[in-house]
Amino acid sequence: MKRIGVFVCHCGINIAGTVDIKRVVEAVKNFPGVVYVEDYKYMCSDPGQNLIREKIKSEKLDGVVIAACSPTLHEKTFRNTVSQAGINPYNCEIANIREQCSWVHTNMEEATEKAIRIVKSIVAKTLLDESLVPIKSPVVKRALVVGGGIAGIQAALNIANSGYEVVLVEKEPSIGGRMAQFSETFPTLDCAQCILTPKMVDVASNENIKLLTYSEVVDVSGSVGNFKVKIKKKAKSVDYEKCTGCGICVEKCPVKVPNEFDRGMSERKAIYTQFPQAVPNKPVIDRENCTYFQKGKCRLCERVCPFGAIDFEQEDEVIEEEVGAIVLATGYELYDVSNMGEYGGGELEDVIDGLTFERLLSSSGPTSGEVRRPSDGKVPKTVVFVKCVGSRDPEHHFPYCSKVCCMYTTKHAMLYKHRVPDGKAYIFYMDVRTAGKGYEEFYQRAQEEDGVIYLRGKVSKIYKSDGKLIVDGFDTLTGRKVQVEADMVVLAMAIRPSSGAEKLFNLLKVSTDANGFLTEAHPKLRPVESLTAGIFLVGCAQGPKDIPDSVSQANAAASMISVMFSQDYLIHEPIITGVNEDLCSGCGICVAVCPYDARKINREKGTVEVNEILCEACGACAAACPSGAAQQKNLTDRQIISMIKAILEE
């Protein structure tokens, strides 16, 4: 039997005020396995810790129980203390007689009795504790960033600048993401391109970043520290080694299709670069619209290219990369206007979404920054902005707040007034949320200086009458129905996760919430980690957020990854739930309940295997296992039963 020493802490009067320490010490002396008991005023202090170390040596202890505060507070402290005296730290256990006893009781008699039983059960547990060694696994010091928007760019740059290699995958031909489409950014109104494009150039010129545009992640295996990722590089039909980005091919291409980057308000060619500041600034051929790929003739671009860079034979290529960590920065898209039947369902040409209006405001947009409505190119004299369209509507659409619309709608109205000073801007809102530095001032400025009219109420419908858009709404503040004859309406559509992202999330087995956004490991304390170790979430993939928040998250994720890569091995708590292969029947119930994807069935052996690095010892499998094969280290069924016995024993 183990030789266990019990050290009872007074914690000043925190414990001693409610628990009779002397009685506890006397009672503990008689427990099986206990060879030494001592109490001290502050066990966590230096003299207290010295006392423990001395007694371990003099009394030849091989197990230690500290009766004190919650293990979340000092378990680590005391495990360090005992290991300095030569005991395996996992043979040291904490009996919580403060948070779970003295602090929640007033009756000394009863509290003392409870404290004795708590200590007794922990002694029973300690008797059966195994010596454990932390699990080590090697780390591949490379990261994968999926998504080349502002969040992905920021994360990639930071990881790369810490000295680690980054593979940045972007599905579009250029990085830049949504931010590249924006006109000016709130609350300072600096131009989005001006602050974004230098970062894009940094990405391209950073030696540690391997940029894969026009590419998608198609398969992921492995786990934290050692992921194997398959990436499909879609055929660009242009040899980027030879191409200089001169643009002659784009100029000569005879095919014109709607330009997605300008939300369909301008045209692009079948061979195209997304926008003038694209990185890489080289074109791709959109095969679905290319005359050669569809009808077998044309090849005009090939003839005009002075460098012979056009390569019609290029094929999709799948490459494999090994990485230690993955950052998901897959971004967002807007809920489609066609979902709003009462607002025209996408049939009214001049009822547009916020992103489309950004393009109208952008100096590099289809109208060079002049506000001209899509239907006839006229300058609208009355513009209505509607907030919370699809958001905050659990009955018909989505329950959540899209967070950025309050600010960008204010910005839209403000910029509209700057461009069309004699125009009228009305904003229908339910609430105005301006929590952010300088945001409230920005909102006040829109009203005070730019004369934007705010109407508090939801718009019930928008329809066309006599060439005007009629907006039916209500001003709940005056209690009156409002009707606005508008030339153009801008809807602040709900923010949705990117449509292609769901497939990737399923591939990675990262969990999402009811709305499709990625779930963080802890909403406050682990906001950029997913529940799957080694996978990080940044930007709007995790939930609607603005540029400063996306950048902060990207910085946070990058710093967490740098910490991870600064070690040669990943160290993982040895307290995991293993498998007793003699008992395991391979039924797979534990595999289904594991939230961390740490367990899988080995078909050859017919038993379940555990990935020790992924296991977080939540115990779900241990509870679910019908044969008792899944046992948590140092919290086995045998230990739990003996603890219960110890507590209930008279």
- How many whole angstroms separate alpha carbon 554 and alpha carbon 524? 16
| Stretch of 45-53, 112-120, 220-228, 477-485 contacting another protein, by CB under 8 A | 477-485
By CB under 8 A, is residue 645 in contact with another protein? Answer: no
Give the x/- contact pattern for another protein in 309-348, rule: CB under 8 A.
---------------------------------x------
Of the listed pieces 16-24, 51-59, 207-215, 473-481, which binds another protein according to CB under 8 A? 473-481
Nearest CA-CA partner of 453 in 399, 419, 489, 417: 417
Cβ distance to another protein smaller for residue 478 or 585: 478
Query: How near is the Cβ of 346 to another protein at its closest, in Å?
Result: 19
**Contact between 472 and another protein per CB under 8 A:** yes
Which is closer to another protein, CB of 301 or CB of 459?
Answer: 459
Nearer to another protein, 440 or 475 (CB): 475
Single out the residue of 458, 464, 468, 600 in contact with another protein (rule: CB under 8 A).
Answer: 458
Nearer to another protein, 147 or 473 (CB): 473
Q: What is d(CA 458, CA 343) in angstroms, rounded to the nearest whole number?
A: 12
Sheet holding 317-323, edge to edge: 215-223, 226-233, 317-323
Binding to another protein, residues 143-202 (CB under 8 A):
none
Beta carbon nearer to another protein, 76 or 396: 396
Query: Which DSSP state fits 128?
Result: T
Scanning residues 95 to 134, which ones bind another protein (CB under 8 A)?
none
The DSSP call for residue 139 is -
CA dist 314 → 204, 253, 310 (Å): 23, 19, 9
> Minimum CB separation from another protein for residue 351, in Å?
17
Out of 84, 221, 294, 460, the residue judged to bind another protein by CB under 8 A: 460
Residue 303 vs 480, nearer CB to another protein: 480
Q: How far is CA 477 from CA 446, 471, 481, 604, in A?
A: 19, 18, 10, 70
- Is 461 among the residues that bind another protein (CB under 8 A)? yes
Run of H or E including 591: helix 589-593
- Say how many Å lie between the first and final Cα of the chain, rounded: 22
CB 111 within 8 A of CB 118: no
Is there a contact between 83 and 89 (Cβ–Cβ < 8 Å)? yes
Cβ closest to another protein, residue 337 vs residue 415: 337
Q: Which of 50, 131, 476, 506 binds another protein (CB under 8 A)?
A: 476
Burial per residue of 293-322, b for 16 or more beta-carbon CB atoms within 10 angstroms, e otherwise:
eeeeebebbbeebeeebbbeebeeeeeebe
394 vs 421 by CB, closer to another protein: 394
| Segment near another protein (CB under 8 A); pick from 134-142, 292-300, 308-316, 476-484 | 476-484
Instruction: Closer to another protein by CB, 182 or 398: give it.
Output: 398
Residue in 25, 337, 459, 535 binding another protein, rule: CB under 8 A: 459
Enumerate the H helices of 219-316 as residue ranges: 248-252, 291-295, 300-304
Encode 598-611: b = buried (16+ Cβ within 10 Å), e = exposed. Answer: bbebeeeeebbbbb
Which residue of 473, 497, 539, 578 would you call a contact of another protein, by CB under 8 A?
Answer: 473
Q: Between residues 186 and 428, which has the closer beta carbon with respect to another protein?
A: 428
| Identity of the residue, 31 or 474, whose beta carbon is nearer to another protein in the bound complex | 474
> Is 349 or 485 the residue whose CB approaches another protein more closely?
485
Q: How far is the CB of 421 from another protein (least distance, A)?
A: 30
Q: Which of 23, 456, 468, 600 binds another protein (CB under 8 A)?
A: 456
Q: Which of the stretches 169-177, 225-233, 406-414, 457-465 binds another protein when contact is defined by CB under 8 A?
A: 457-465
CB distance 248 to 306 below 8 Å: yes
- Closest C-alpha to 551, from 151, 195, 188: 151
Piece in contact with another protein (CB under 8 A), picked from 187-195, 211-219, 325-333, 472-480: 472-480
- Nearer of residues 416 and 454 to another protein, judged by Cβ: 454
* 136 near another protein, rule: CB under 8 A: no
390 contacts 515 by C-beta, under 8 angstroms? no
Q: What is the largest CA-CA distance in the chain?
A: 98
Instruction: Using the minimum distance from each CB to another protein, give the nearer residue, 22 or 461.
Output: 461
We find the least distance from the C-beta atom of residue 402 to another protein, in angstroms, to be: 14
Alpha helices in 253-353 (DSSP H): 291-295, 300-304
User: What distance in Å separates the CA atoms of residue 173 and residue 635, rounded to the nearest whole number?
Assistant: 53
**In sequence order, what are the residues at sequence separation of 6 or more whose Cβ sits closer than 8 angstroms to the Cβ of residue 411?**
184, 185, 186, 187, 189, 442
Smaller CB separation from another protein, 105 or 458 = 458
Q: Does 481 bind another protein (CB under 8 A)?
A: yes
CA dist list (Å): 459 to 58, 289, 449, 613: 80, 39, 25, 52
Per rule CB under 8 A, count of chain residues that contact another protein: 25
CB closer to another protein out of 323 and 491: 491
Q: Binding marks (x or -) toward another protein, 391..430, rule CB under 8 A?
A: -xxxxxx--------------------------------x
CB 91 within 8 A of CB 129: yes
Q: How far is the CB of 406 from another protein (least distance, A)?
A: 14
Do residues 239 and 253 touch, judged by C-beta distance below 8 A?
Answer: no
Binding segment for another protein (CB under 8 A), chosen from 44-52, 207-215, 418-426, 468-476, is 468-476
CB atoms within 10 A of CB 516: 15
Tell me the per-residue interface mask from 482 to 511 with another protein, x by CB under 8 A, - otherwise.
Answer: x-----------------------------
Residue 144 is classified by DSSP as E
Going residue by residue from 352 to 391, which x/- string records binding to another protein, judged by CB under 8 A?
------------------------------------x---
Torsion of CA 209, 211, 212, 216, to 10 degrees: 60
State the pairing for strand pair 535-537/92-96. unpaired
Whole-angstrom distance, CA of residue 538 vs CA of residue 547: 11
Q: Write the DSSP symbol of residue 628.
A: S
Task: For the CB of residue 559, give the shortest distance to another protein in the complex, in Å.
Answer: 38
Residue 76 C-beta: closest distance to another protein, Å = 45
Binds another protein by CB under 8 A, chosen from 38, 59, 475, 609 = 475
CA distances from 563 to 138, 164, 417 (A): 14, 11, 48
Interface residues toward another protein, by CB under 8 A:
342, 388, 392-397, 430-431, 456-461, 472-476, 479-482
